[in-house]
Amino acid sequence: MSRRGTQQSQGANLSQSQQSSSIRPSDSSTETPDFNTYGDFHKAVLSVFLAQSILDGRQVRLLFQNTCPAFGLTFPEETKDYFNAVACTFGTINARIKKYSLLIKRVCSGSRIESYYCLANKSTNSIHQTQEVFSRKELEYLNELVKAILKSGRGHLTDHEAGNVELSSRMTQSNSQEMRKKFVALQFIETDDNGKLVIAPRALAELEPELRRINDEAGEENVEKCSFCQGIIVNKQGVECGECSQRCHPVCLMRVLEPEQPAGSKSRINCSACMKPFPEDILKCCRKMGNKECKSIASEEQTEQERFERVDKVFSNRDTTTNTKRRSRAAGDRDTTVGME
């Protein structure tokens, strides 16, 4: 996982290219915009990825909902049409940015019903940098940390184990802890429900070739392919087929699974590897996971709405209090003036 000098310039060159051309709708353009033809809409989407590097599925949908109308495109409401639009858009962008050895890549979580889109470097096995910059020691620590998680066989490390990862030079526990916080903030590493450190989707997107190489050299089976999308699955995550033991991402299974099942009826979803049906208990578990995810999203939206309402109330009360004080001071000034007279 070498750090090459050309790596830092790729994102900068692309950013300069983006800045040299406006991403606002062109009034003089007579062409009808579409998802397959590179234009202002694609530049706007790409500029978001240059700034943020990774977006989850909900963020991408919100991006399309807000950006399509601004550039003369109709947002596709139907699920199938929406995913076709996303595929066409990113395919068109990737064709344009491949000369910079970059691509927008879709990766899926192995433990949650979630997919992500990440701006990744396809020419090297090292980590692509656009806005954030890692020091040499941070890069070394991140690479070794990902290796250690993969080789653990458990798919996670404790904070203590992560602090004991060997590097070429010594590092204090406080320094390693600060670095891990940075890796989590930039979504290369994340913590699971038990507080353990696991490989995050951004690292899967950036380091997939290297993860496969490490796994093959060790002769282990800690890196597998999703039976549906052929994407990467690490450390025995995902949903396992009871017949052939092949695994798939939960989000890939949910795409073909009806969210609501009539009472007394059974789902029949075949494994795309062996074509045998998934056991009903696995489908029920996956559907339950999906319903929990939907409730979580609704809760987050409700919490955000309540937060905005509280802020509005605070400012409203503050304005009322300020006006009351002003009226009181004005009344006091008038009384003082009368007394002086």
Q: What is the pLDDT of residue 272?
A: 86
pLDDT in tens, 215-242: 888 777 889 999 889 999 998 888 888 8
pLDDT in tens, 126-156: 554 444 568 888 888 998 999 899 888 788 8
- Report the chain's C-alpha Rg in angstroms: 26
Q: What is the pLDDT of residue 157?
A: 93
Strands 102-108 and 115-121: antiparallel
Strands 54-56 and 115-121: antiparallel
**115: confidence class by pLDDT, cuts 50, 70, 90:** very high
Q: Are 254 and 290 in contact (CB under 8 A)?
A: yes
pLDDT in tens, 236-268: 888 888 888 899 998 888 887 755 554 445 567
The per-residue pLDDT of the chain, averaged, comes to 78
Residue of higher predicted confidence among 213 and 307: 213
pLDDT in tens, 270-283: 888 899 888 888 88
Q: Residue 103's beta-bridge partner residues?
A: 120
Give 25's DSSP letter. Answer: P
In 3-state terms the chain splits into helix, strand, coil percentages (rounded to 5) of 55, 10, 35
Q: Mutual orientation of helices 40-52 and 57-67 as an angle, nearest 10°?
A: 140
Domains within the chain, CATH numbers bracketed: 5-119 (3.90.1150.220), 136-220 (1.10.10.10)
What percentage of the chain exceeds 90 in pLDDT?
Answer: 30
Q: Looking up tokens 């009360």, which residue turns up?
A: 317
Q: Would you call 241 helix, strand, or coil by DSSP?
A: coil
